A and B are shown apart, each in its own frame.
Chain A
Amino acid sequence: QKEVEQNSGPLSVPEGAIASLNCTYSDRVSQSFFWYRQYSGKSPELIMSIYSNGDKEDGRFTAQLNKASQYVSLLIRDSQPSDSATYLCAVNLWGGYGGATNKLIFGTGTLLAVQP
């Protein structure tokens, strides 16, 4: 089982709809969770970070974390063609007594296509 899993897509949504991107992880005690957006040929760009259970909203983006079920999701409201990109989920592993490690594990990403 991969440590961080995402559906590779493509996820196709019409302009103005809600895009829902999901990510599951295997490390039960992971503490830090991140969503990155990556346009083709560009570097990953941080969209959201979330550290505790529940929802975190920032503009059109909402990150949802459920540690008991080991999943984190990203909702994009009012999707725009400019949102078309690959979305990477990243999870920070927990090093036990030593605390969070420096090992951020990335999923392989979900390709989102927003149709005008």
Chain B
Amino acid sequence: NAGVTQTPKFQVLKTGQSMTLQCAQDMNHNSMYWYRQDPGMGLRLIYYSASEGTTDKGEVPNGYNVSRLNKREFSLRLESAAPSQTSVYFCATNRDSRYEQYFGPGTRLTVT
């Protein structure tokens, strides 16, 4: 029972390159989230999916797109990476909005 998994763990991109961060959960949770964490800024919500088939913007959605592929998987895509997107990205899930979220191990992304 892996909980929440994320791939890759580390990634270095050049400005303008694209990539997709993958998240999968085996907790049978309905809701999934993407956050970024920067020093001094805390965790900020990028996008979320309240249930399979729906996605909504969070606090900092610009420069990102998401896909809720099925109940288990939620991906985050950077179409044209910028140095400002250098951050640690976390995926999280919960049963529904009232309940605690469980986090994946994170992806450390550097854009040069």
Question: Is A11 an interface position by the 8 A CB rule?
Answer: no
Which A residues are in CB contact (< 8 Å) with B60?
Answer: none
Question: Is A92 an interface position by the 8 A CB rule?
Answer: yes
Which A residues are in CB contact (< 8 Å) with B41?
Answer: 108
**In whole angstroms, how far apart are the Cα atoms of A104 and B34 in the complex?**
12
> For the complex, would chain B's binding face be called helix, strand, loop or mixed by DSSP majority?
loop
- Are A100 and B43 in contact (CB-based, < 8 A)? no
- Are A44 and B103 in contact (CB-based, < 8 A)? yes
> For the complex, would chain A's binding face be called helix, strand, loop or mixed by DSSP majority?
strand
For chain A, the count of residues having a C-beta within 8 Å of the partner chain is 22
Q: A32-B98, A32-B99, A46-B102 are in contact. Are A109 and B45 (CB under 8 A)?
A: no
Question: Is B74 an interface position by the 8 A CB rule?
Answer: no
The 8 A CB mask of A88-100 against B (1 = contact, 0 = none) is 1010100000011
**In whole angstroms, how far apart are the Cα atoms of A45 and B90 in the complex?**
12
Question: Is A25 an interface position by the 8 A CB rule?
Answer: no
- Are B50 and A107 in contact (CB-based, < 8 A)? no
Q: Which residue of B43, B50, B100, B103 contacts A102 across the interface (Cβ within 8 Å)?
A: B50
21 intermolecular pairs with C-beta atoms under 8 Å apart: A32-B98, A43-B106, A44-B43, A44-B90, A44-B103, A46-B100, A46-B101, A49-B99, A49-B100, A88-B43, A92-B98, A99-B97, A100-B97, A100-B98, A101-B97, A102-B50, A103-B48, A103-B59, A104-B101, A106-B42, A109-B42
